[in-house]
Amino acid sequence: MERDAEKIKKFVQESYGKLAQEQEKTGACCPSEVAPSCCTPGEVKTYAEMLYTKEELETLPQSVADFALGCGNPIAIAELKPGEVVLDLGSGGGIDCFLAAQKVRSKGKVIGLDMTREMIRLARENAQKIGAENVEFRLGEMEHMPIASDSVDVIISNCVINLSPDKDSVFKEAFRVLKPGGRLSISDIVLLEDLPPDIKESLEHWAGCIAGALEKDVYLDKIKAAGFVDVVAEEAKAPFVIETDDGQTYLDLRDKIASIRVKAFKPRLEASE
């Protein structure tokens, strides 16, 4: 099992490294041969507009705004406040980090965490383009976060936790680094129906955010098991498609997969008597 987990992690890392390299070279997002299910057929900008408001996208350079690999908008439920410290798990090119940075302003701080060196490099380049001085990007894994305990106000993540073969460790680490009373505000993919074995066992579909998805109740139970309370989830159909074997048509999975927005809290410390 450990060997399988490392195999999955390596494949995902290499796949998203290719995405970052492609973006740096051409400005194109989500080549179908790398992670087909992260995009819908057609214009990527249309997909980005499905996740974010027009006003949000207009605050960013088009090359940054168009590189949208998520399945939702965690900023929309995070209720970020000026001065807060935000951690983005699987920050990619940085789009959610930059939107969060606008909310927490100069006295706040946003940390983007990603395990792919190419993504970290791309995100740092994007930060320079934007002039985002309250954002930093760190190389590291969600299962072993290079973040101090009790140091973060809010954790956001956008369609990334499903990529981990060890989600229990991700949620335990998230609980560790949050301050007491801190909150988790994430978008992710969950299953509404079981998937065919050929999809579940496919490394390509792990990288495409499908094969690693859990049933909704299982996903939420793992969050609660890590210690989180007041877990609230909102579900929406996910615009996910995958290429069929002929490479010419697409399989619509919207009845089997949903995008979920989850908010949960780390309990506050009880006042001493």
Provide the pLDDT for residue 68. Answer: 86
Strand partners, 59: none
Burial of 205 (C-beta count, 10 Å sphere; 0-12/13-18/19+): buried
Work out the percent of the chain whose per-residue pLDDT is above 90: 67
Task: State CA 91 to chain mean position distance.
Answer: 7
Query: Distance (Å, rounded) from C-alpha 31 to C-alpha 14?
Result: 14
Provide the pLDDT for residue 273. Answer: 42
Q: For domain 2-265, is the CATH number 2.160.10.10?
A: no
Cβ partners under 8 Å of residue 228, min gap 6: 171, 175, 184, 264, 265, 266
Tell me which residue has tokens 């999955």.
Answer: 8
Q: Which long-range contacts (CB under 8 A, 24 or more apart) does 50-53 make?
A: 50/239, 52/95, 52/99
Provide the pLDDT for residue 1. Answer: 52
How far from 203 is each of 20, 152, 164, CA to CA, in Å? 19, 32, 12
H or E segment and range at residue 19: helix 2-26
Tell me the residue length of the chain.
273
**Which backbone phi and psi does 92 adopt, to 5 degrees?**
55, -130
Residues with pLDDT less than 70, the chain: 1-3, 27-47, 237-252, 271-273
